[in-house]
Chains A and B, each alone.
Chain A
Amino acid sequence: MPSLQHPFQCLRYVARESAGQSDLLIATAGAKVYSYSASTGECLDVFPSAYELAVSDDLKSPPGKRRKLSSPEQKDEQSESADKGSKEEVKLTWSNIPLLIVAKSKYVIFLTAEDKCVRVYSLSGNGQFVKESVRTMPKRPSVLALTPDENDILCADKFGDVYIIPVIPSSEYKRTVAEEKEYTPSATNLTVHTRRNLESLEQQKRQAALKKKASVETTALNFEHQAIIGHVSMLTDMVSVTRPADSSISHPRSYILTADRDEHIRVSRGHPQAHVIEQYCFGHTSFISKLCIPSWAPDVLVSGGGDKHLLVWNWVGGQVLQKVSLSESETDISVSGIWAVSINDTNNIFVAIEGSSQLLCYTLENDNTLKQQETLQLSGNVIDLVSISSKGSIVVSLDNLREPNSTSVWRSSPQALLETFRVEYGKWIPTEDSVVSKINDKDSTIVEAELDEKTTKSLNEQLYGLSVLRKNPAWD
Chain B
Amino acid sequence: MAEQVPTKRQKREEYRRGIQAQQETEDGSVVKMPQKKFFRQRAHANPFSDHNLNYPISPAHMDWSSHYPAYVDPDTLKTNLAGARQLTKNVEVVDIGCGFGGLLVGLAPLLPDTLMVGMEIRTQVLEYLTSRIHALRTQQQNLKNKAAKPTSTEAPESTEQPTEMDTSDDKAPVPATDDDIGTTKIFPGNFENITAIRANTMKFLPNFFGRHQLSKIFVCFPDPHFKARKHKARIISESLNAEYAYALRPGGLLYTITDVEEYHHWVLRHFQRQPEDAEKTEGEAVHAPGIKDIWERVSDEDLAADPCVRVMQFETEESKKVTRNNGKKFVAVFRRLADPEWSSS
Q: Report whether chain A binds chain B.
A: yes
Specify the chain B residue showing the minimal Cβ separation from A471. B50
Stretch binding the partner chain, chosen from A109-117, A182-190, A288-296, A443-451: A182-190
Extra pairs beyond A277-B211, A283-B57 (19, CB < 8 Å)? A186-B263, A188-B261, A191-B224, A191-B327, A230-B238, A263-B57, A266-B206, A275-B238, A275-B242, A275-B290, A277-B242, A277-B246, A278-B211, A279-B211, A280-B206, A282-B61, A283-B58, A285-B57, A473-B52
Specify the chain B residue showing the minimal Cβ separation from A147. B345
Knowing A253-B342, A476-B52, say if A272 contacts B294 (CB, 8 Å).
no
Number of interface residues of A (CB under 8 A): 44
Cβ of A230 and Cβ of B245 under 8 Å apart?
Answer: no
- A149 to chain B minimum Cβ distance, whole angstroms, is 8
- B149 is an interface residue with CB less than 8 A from chain A: no
Q: For chain B, residues 134 to 163, give those with C-beta under 8 angstroms from any C-beta of chain A.
A: none
Instruction: Specify which chain B residues have a CB less than 8 angstroms from the CB of A190 in the assembled complex.
Output: 259, 322, 325-328
Q: For chain A, residues 186 to 229, give those with C-beta under 8 angstroms from any C-beta of chain B.
A: 186-188, 190-191, 193, 226-227, 229
Cβ of B52 and Cβ of A232 under 8 Å apart?
Answer: no
- A262 is an interface residue with CB less than 8 A from chain B: yes
- Complex CA–CA separation, A193 to B325 (angstroms): 9
Q: How many A-B residue pairs have CB under 8 A?
A: 104
Knowing A190-B326, A190-B328, A264-B206, say if A230 contacts B260 (CB, 8 Å).
no
- A251 is an interface residue with CB less than 8 A from chain B: yes
Cβ of A272 and Cβ of B237 under 8 Å apart?
Answer: no
Please, could you name 9 A-B residue pairs with CB atoms under 8 Å apart, sorted by A? Answer: A186-B224, A187-B226, A190-B326, A226-B288, A232-B202, A275-B291, A276-B339, A278-B211, A282-B60
Instruction: Specify which chain B residues have a CB less than 8 angstroms from the CB of A232 in the assembled complex.
Output: 47-48, 202-203, 239-240
Cβ of B239 and Cβ of A191 under 8 Å apart?
Answer: no
Cβ of B239 and Cβ of A227 under 8 Å apart?
Answer: yes
- Complex CA–CA separation, A229 to B239 (angstroms): 6
Interface string of A165-187 (1 = CB under 8 A from B): 00000000000100000000111
Instruction: Specify which chain B residues have a CB less than 8 angstroms from the CB of A135 in the assembled complex.
Output: none
Specify the chain B residue showing the minimal Cβ separation from A229. B239
- A269 is an interface residue with CB less than 8 A from chain B: yes
Cβ of A251 and Cβ of B239 under 8 Å apart?
Answer: no
Cβ of A276 and Cβ of B340 under 8 Å apart?
Answer: yes
What residues make up the interface of A, taking CB atoms closer than 8 Å to B? Answer: 159-161, 176, 185-188, 190-191, 193, 226-227, 229-233, 249, 251, 253-254, 262-264, 266, 268-269, 272-273, 275-280, 282-283, 285, 471-473, 475-476
- Complex CA–CA separation, A473 to B51 (angstroms): 9
- B4 is an interface residue with CB less than 8 A from chain A: no
Cβ of A272 and Cβ of B288 under 8 Å apart?
Answer: yes
Chain B interface extent, by class: 35 or more
- A235 to chain B minimum Cβ distance, whole angstroms, is 12
- Complex CA–CA separation, A251 to B342 (angstroms): 9
Specify the chain B residue showing the minimal Cβ separation from A159. B232
Cβ of B243 and Cβ of A277 under 8 Å apart?
Answer: yes
- Complex CA–CA separation, A193 to B224 (angstroms): 14
Specify the chain B residue showing the minimal Cβ separation from A284. B57
- Complex CA–CA separation, A455 to B59 (angstroms): 45
- B25 is an interface residue with CB less than 8 A from chain A: no
- B289 is an interface residue with CB less than 8 A from chain A: yes
- Of A176, A185, A254, A276, which one neighbours B242 at CB under 8 angstroms? A276
- Complex CA–CA separation, A471 to B48 (angstroms): 13
Cβ of B294 and Cβ of A472 under 8 Å apart?
Answer: no
Cβ of B343 and Cβ of A161 under 8 Å apart?
Answer: no
- Complex CA–CA separation, A193 to B324 (angstroms): 12
- B207 is an interface residue with CB less than 8 A from chain A: yes
- B204 is an interface residue with CB less than 8 A from chain A: yes
Instruction: Specify which chain B residues have a CB less than 8 angstroms from the CB of A253 in the assembled complex.
Output: 342
Tell me which of B226, B262, B263 has the highest count of chain A C-beta atoms within 10 A of its own C-beta. Answer: B226
The 8 closest A-B pairs by CB, nearest first: A230-B239, A282-B58, A186-B262, A476-B52, A275-B291, A190-B327, A277-B246, A232-B202
